[in-house]
Amino acid sequence: MNGAESLVRTLVDNDVTVCFSNPGTSEMHFVAALDKVEGMRCILGLFEGVVTGAADGYYRMTGNPASTLLHLGPGLGNGLANLHNAKKARSGIVNIVGEHASYHIKHDAPLTSDIEGVARPMSDWVKTSRSAAAVAADGALAIEAARAAPGHIATLILPADTAWEEAASPAAARAPAPRAAISADAITAAARALTCNQPAMLMMGGVAVRGRALELAGRIAAKTGCRLMSEYNNARMECGAGRVRVDRLPYVVDNALAALKDVRQMILVGAKSPVSFFAYPGKPSVLVPDGCAVTRLAGVADDIEAALAALAAELGALQSAPAGVASLHRAAPPTGAVTLDGIAQLLATLMPENAVIVDEAVSSGRNFGAHMHSAPPHDWLNLMGGAIGCGLPLATGAAIGAPQRQVIALEGDGSAMYTLQALWTMARENLQVLTIVFANRSYRILHGELANVGAGTPGRKANDMLTLDRPNLDWTALAKGCGVDAGRAASLDELAQQFKRGLSAQGPYLIELVM
């Protein structure tokens, strides 16, 4: 077998069985190997940002890395923004990046670049295979790196001659090391902070906002009266009826400061000490209030569930009923003119159980979470790194990773234009993704940010940089051009009709919500 085949076999043998791909000439032997090796599902994306964003979404739903296949340095460069988001989400991804044949690099052909230099800022592990015999072992190392807690970006660069020359047998990747245990001292310090008769809060992130860890946090809150709050962005958060309610830290600095002002003991559980998204004149970067002590229980790579279990045991909270568990409440869908609260209420009312919500609504969806606690149980996936253009690819990967669940993408029109090619992949793979595009014809968030940074009132030139008109985007036409059925809504009544139509569709559907 050649090097490319040994790599594909190594990936499949180690349960990396999905490859999001946008190949070129240097990757043709890898492409050919897909027909020789059973077990790899290869999915084409028409832009590399779709490929890398989909791999992020896949990992968030499965906890297992997918691979990507990218063409040389420029192809990797096109995917970097969503690799940034994936890195902030702590998603495990194995990037396979083609390179010129080793003897060809010295000729400085047009596509020659420093691929390792391009890869390093958005990768946790980077290596170039130096021979066909090393490819399988290097692939196993990449898998090990991607699976290391809490999830990492591994980039393996594959020169063309190492792909086509004779190679060794596939290699086995070692199982990931267990997450780091928490010291008894950390447990004692957190318990002391929660029982010192001062207003306390668990600030939560990572796996703390789902599964048994979330339930344990609810038991601790019931026992101690502490508040529960999560970071503003979460890779995957379990929400809805039957689950412990955790409010997200507000995005807007003044709102975040107000939400935290009374806290005197903050315990970090898989979260970082909170800071503002950007710097603003006259406002603090650090959001922890004066006089508030910060105690670190567990970092995002630590064994968060075990840490919370030990803390609950220390507090005598293991038998306490979790606090803040909401009951299911399905109200009648709201009607009339489109409002942000109305959209959120409609979503909470009509979403099916166990839906996966991918949120890149940016400004429009900022406060939707407050309406979701009595909705059916669901998962909520945020834009982690702030680089827009993640939502549609993330929904694509989530649908591949959780094919039995309805994916609902909440998408700003400006953000969607970055990676609208994902719609084509949704159609080709017949994915169960319902997308709502919030067509406010602008980068709405930037209107607020212009004021927040004290830059003044926009004039004609500045306004042209913030609006998406002249011409207006036609999202129903754009969707149908990519093979996705679509409809338009301009009221909550029409949105409800379109939403029900989208849920009944056998495949992807898009709603252009005119705002």
Give ranges for CATH 3.40.50.970 in the chain.
Answer: 3-164, 340-514
Q: Per the omega criterion (within 30 degrees of 0), is the bond before 150 cis?
A: yes
Query: Residues 6 or more apart from 49 whose CB is under 8 A from it?
Result: 78, 79, 81, 82, 389, 393, 418, 419
Mean pLDDT of 164-172: 94
Residue range 227-252: mean pLDDT, rounded: 96
- Can you tell me whether residue 334 is helix, strand or coil? coil
Rounded to whole angstroms, how far apart are CA atoms 452 and 175?
Answer: 48
Tens-digit pLDDT profile for residues 431-471:
999 999 999 876 666 667 777 777 777 787 877 787 788 88
The secondary structure of residue 128, as a DSSP letter, is: E
pLDDT at 181: 96
The torsion of the CA quartet 141, 403, 52, 441, rounded to 10 degrees, works out to -160
- Predicted confidence (pLDDT) per residue in 301-320, tens digit: 999 999 999 999 999 999 99
Coil/strand/helix, residue 439: strand
Residues belonging to the chain: 515
Strands 237-239 and 378-382: antiparallel
DSSP letter, residue 2:
B
Question: Dihedrals φ, ψ of 35, to 5°?
Answer: -85, -10
CATH architecture of 3-164: 3-Layer(aba) Sandwich (3.40)
Is the CATH number of domain 340-514 3.40.109.10?
A: no
Residue pair 21/71 in contact by the 8 Å Cβ criterion:
no
Residues near 12 by beta carbon (within 8 Å), at least 6 away in sequence: 37, 38, 39, 40
CATH domain 184-315 topology: Rossmann fold (3.40.50)
Residues 230, 232, 233: CA angle, nearest 5 degrees: 100
- Among residues 242, 403, 447, 414, the alpha carbon closest in space to that of 328 is found at 242
Q: How far apart are CA 493 and CA 143, in angstroms?
A: 48
Q: How confident is the model over 325-378, as pLDDT tens digits?
A: 989 998 889 999 999 999 999 999 999 999 999 999 987 878 888 889 999 999
| Dist. CA 155–CA 93, nearest whole Å | 8
pLDDT-above-90 percentage for the chain: 90
Give the Cα separation of 120 and 190 in Å (integer): 36
Specify the pLDDT at position 392.
98
pLDDT score recorded for residue 292: 98
Looking at residue 442, its pLDDT comes to 66
Side-chain-side CA neighbours of residue 240 (13 Å) = 24
pLDDT tens per residue, range 184-215:
999 999 999 999 999 999 999 999 999 999 99
**Residues 272, 278, 281, 282: what is their CA dihedral angle, to the nearest 10 degrees?**
-20
Using the 8-state DSSP alphabet, how is residue 392 labeled?
A: H
Dist. CA 33–CA 46, nearest whole Å? 21
**Residue 133, both tokens:** 């015999």
List, in order, residues 6 or more apart from 286 with CB less than 8 Å away. Answer: 273, 274, 275
Write out the two tokens for 132.
């066909």
The span from the CA of 283 to the CA of 323, in Å, is 34
Look at the block and give the residue holding tokens 């969806």: 365
Count the neighbouring beta carbons within 10 Å of the beta carbon of residue 328: 12
393 and 85 in contact (C-beta within 8 Å)? no
Tell me: the pLDDT tens digits for 60-82? Answer: 999 999 999 999 999 999 999 99
Here the tokens at position 189 are 């310090």
Locate CATH 3.40.50.1220 in the chain: 184-315
Q: Do the beta carbons of residue 385 and residue 352 sit within 8 Å?
A: no
- pLDDT at position 256: 96
Longest C-alpha distance within the chain, in Å? 70
- Mean pLDDT, residues 30-55: 96
String of DSSP letters for 29-90:
HHHHHTTTSTT-EEEE-SSHHHHHHHHHHHHHHHSS-EEEEE-HHHHHHHTHHHHHHHHHTT
